[in-house]
Amino acid sequence: MPAVDRLLNLAAALLDTSSPLSIDEIRRNVPGYSSCASDDAFRRMFERDKEGLIDIGVVITFHDTSEVQTGYSATRAQELTSLQLTPGELASLELAAASVRLNDSSESDVLQAVQKLGGGVADAAEHVAALDIPDNLADLFEAIRKHRVVSFTYSSSPREVQPHRLEFRRGRWYLSGFDLSRDADRSFRVDRIASKVKASTDGVFEPPEDRRRVNLEPWAMGSGDPLVATVALDPEIAALFFNEYPNVEEPLPNEAGSVLVDLPVVNLTGLFIMLLSYLDRVELVGPAEIRDKFCQLLLSLAEVK
């Protein structure tokens, strides 16, 4: 594996972890290290890579206290210095910049970004892919960097959020943070924010050390008009469900003791997989067209020998 790929893998692992990674976890789980022939070879490679990340501005912390697991984590510095890319790596970066179009972004913006890393932009006959840049993305990045509370409209409701992180997952940008309007952690699909994001100017918030990652809801992975499905949760697993899917609004239990939630479904397969994972602790109440399809699935599974 090229050194730059291994370096990026290490950076991603240390930046995204919610708890420090031990040296054994890094060797076992970060791509590029498992092929080391000996402990000494791994240690030398890891120390070189760690110093390389520090040189470009990544702040790496070694934790060795009784409160947390002994290991490493990382945070981003305010400004990164030169990545010191090789000529081959710069050529790959230039080709990618020329081949992938960022919708709603000018060619000059792309050129300036690549030039800051020491390269130019190669000529390309045509773009082979295009990535959309949702409205508000730049404003959200700035609010996260400056620790500013943001307000916007989402699902027809006004929201006031402490933004913690942005993630690009499965072709979409997602924001996660603490929703002051709901007094709970929430995730938001950026392209579904229905208003201009406004950042506060009166003070800042202190982001948590453990910034919760976006947990995608399998029934919402897709596009198109959603169909609302009502699911009844056994009270004993309701807390587990809402912890796993923090973006789902938590209602009060009904008279029968179960907890009813309405889920906007665009992916039936994702919904059915979630239901099966909770076995008999959930019930798909409706609508009838979705319930019938789920019953057919259960019957087909029962016939499998």
- Would you kindly state where each structural domain of the chain is located, as residue ranges? 3-76, 87-131, 137-214, 219-303
Residues 6+ apart with CB under 8 A from 228: 262, 263, 264, 265, 287
Supply 12's token pair.
Answer: 């991603």
List helix spans (H) across 64-167. Answer: 87-99, 107-116, 137-146
**CA dist list (Å): 301 to 100, 276, 295, 305:** 43, 11, 10, 9
3-class DSSP state of 62: strand
Q: What's residue 284's pLDDT?
A: 94
Share of the chain above pLDDT 90, in %: 17
The string of pLDDT tens digits covering residues 62-94 is 887 666 678 888 886 544 445 566 777 777 766
The more confidently predicted of residues 66 and 179 is 179
Mean pLDDT of 155-177: 84
Mean pLDDT of 93-107: 62
Beta bridge partners of 74: 60
User: Is the pLDDT assigned to residue 267 strictly greater than 60?
Assistant: yes
Mean pLDDT of 160-189: 84
The string of pLDDT tens digits covering residues 206-255 is 888 777 766 678 888 777 788 999 999 998 888 888 877 877 877 765 66
User: Is the pLDDT assigned to residue 15 strictly greater than 80?
Assistant: yes
Of the candidate ranges 24-38, 62-76, 191-205, the one whose mean pLDDT is the lowest: 62-76
137-214: CATH, from 2.60.98, 2.60.40, 3.40.50, 2.30.30? 2.30.30
Comparing CA positions, the residue from 153, 149, 207, 160 lying closest to residue 183 is 160
Beta bridge partners of 104: none
Q: What's residue 79's pLDDT?
A: 46
Output the pTM of the full model: 0.47
Q: Determine which helix (DSSP H) or strand (DSSP E) holds 229, and give its type and residue range.
A: strand 227-233
Confidence of residue 121 (pLDDT cuts 50, 70, 90): low
Using only the alpha carbons of the chain, give its radius of gyration.
Answer: 23
∠ Cα 296 299 304 (to 5°): 130
Distance CA 88, CA 21 (A): 31
Comparing CA positions, the residue from 193, 135, 133 lying closest to residue 160 is 193
Q: What's residue 110's pLDDT?
A: 60
The domain made up of 3-76 is a member of CATH 1.10.10:
yes
No. of H helices and E strands in the chain?
Answer: 9, 12
Q: What's residue 188's pLDDT?
A: 85
Q: Is the bond preceding 287 in cis, omega lying within 30 degrees of 0? A: yes
The more confidently predicted of residues 149 and 86 is 149
Distance CA 9, CA 3 (A): 10
User: Is the pLDDT assigned to residue 194 strictly greater than 80?
Assistant: yes
Mean per-residue pLDDT of the chain: 79
Beta bridge partners of 36: none
